[in-house]
Amino acid sequence: MKRYWLVVLVMAVTCMVTSCGDYSEVEDLAVVVGMSMDETSNHHLRVTCDIMRSSESGSDSTSANQNQDMLVTGEGLSMASALENIQKKLDKRIYLSHNTLVVLSDKVISDRFASMLDELERNRELRLNQMLVVVRGDADQIWTISNRSETPLAITIRQAIQNWEACTDAFRAEQFRMLRDWNAPYGVAHLPWLDPQAANWVAGLAFVDPRGGIAWWSICPPRDNGALWLLGDTRNLVQKIVFQDPFRGKEGQVCIRWVHTHTSLGFRYHKNKLCVTVNWWGNGYIEAMSPGHVADRTTFKVLEDQAGRDIQRDIHQCITRMRSADVNLWRMSLYRTAPQLFRILERKDPSWWKTCDVSYVIHPHIVHSGLSTRSPG
């Protein structure tokens, strides 16, 4: 009986000791809320951490910049070694679990994209929902933005990006995850493109393929809707259409709100050449129409036909632009669909994705607004 109670006592003491073994007070942590990554001239990685200032460091004017953040920079051959060098400059332990923003320079994406993503995904401290963004030129220039609020600059930037949700569904925060985007039809990630000189700091979207090719897209102009179809699925996207009224014989304008669109790819190998089929369908309704036009069955058919032509034109222009920017739209999708065919094409002609034939199957479906959310595609 005594032996039984001795075992219970030892187990209780062990649980109490181990449960608090790695406990740290918040005041003892350097809480990182943002990071930027640049490649130096000697091919090292330069990491700058945006560290939230604690109350006790608020009086230390030498360690804080004008944005009420403490910025600390370190270099190394990898992200891990750069963070180790940053740690040597601090008297508190670096805490990465609250990091909310990672800013990558275009050079980092072009030269070491795969290894950088591998480090970000494997680091167990980093959150899976941190937002990844890209900057043309040095990424650490983003920290020169003037911040008048008491919120850390990294969080302010993230909120500014999320404000663009009103412009397009492409800016939903949960979209900005590389692995999530690579599982979309095209296997192309889209990242917010930041510019410290732009209004509200957001210049547009950068479409990135797994090998580091980048296509830069400005935000919101209607002519760039083709890029948004690359997301695979979009919601609440507005498209302006100019159509020919079948009754009045004159032009009219209409705004279509696409409640839900879906894009998928099909592949066919014919006569030693790859043929790609882009399949698009969408449900939408008329949000606004120029006066004097009747929205009857005939008009709906005319609108669907014109919308189909415009959507095909936008997607085709987008593909052409992606190819000119060396962004491979088909690589990941073909590899997942037909890996053996993919290897054959890679051996025969590595630039096969620039010359393969592309066809389109477009199915726009415009309904009365009350039916748009439940009408089948």
Would you state the pLDDT for residue 373?
41
Token output for 333: 């999708």
Instruction: Cite the beta strand spans of 41-166 per DSSP E.
Output: 45-52, 69-76, 93-95, 101-105, 131-135
**Structural domain boundaries of the chain?**
28-182, 231-371
Q: Which residue has the tokens 């939903």?
A: 172
Question: How many beta carbons lie within 10 A of that of residue 85, not counting itself?
Answer: 15
The pTM for the full model equals 0.71
Residue 279: pLDDT over 90: yes
Residue 260's pLDDT band (cuts 50, 70, 90):
confident
Taking Cα atoms as reference points, which of 51, 87, 54 lies closest to residue 69?
Answer: 51
Higher local confidence (pLDDT), 183 or 91:
91
Cα–Cα distance, 233 to 260 (Å, whole number): 7
Phi, then psi, of 320 in degrees rounded to 5: -60, -45
Helical ranges in the chain per DSSP H: 2-19, 79-88, 106-122, 153-162, 178-182, 225-228, 297-324, 331-337, 339-348, 352-355
User: Is-contact 241 221, C-beta < 8 A?
Assistant: no
Q: Which fold has domain 231-371?
A: GMP Synthetase; Chain A, domain 3 (3.30.300)
Looking at residue 300, its amino acid is: F
Cα–Cα distance, 86 to 102 (Å, whole number): 16
Residue 172: pLDDT over 90: no
Would you state the pLDDT for residue 148?
58
Q: What tens digit of pLDDT does each residue of 303-337 get?
A: 999 999 999 998 998 899 888 888 888 888 888 88
Question: Taking the CA of residue 287 as centre, how many other CA atoms within 13 Å lie in the half-sphere pointing to its CB?
Answer: 13
Q: What percent of the chain has pLDDT over 70?
A: 76
Cα 162 → chain centroid: 12
Render 323-365 in DSSP notation, one character per residue. HHTT--SSHHHHHHH-HHHHHHHHHH-TTHHHHSEEEEEEEEE
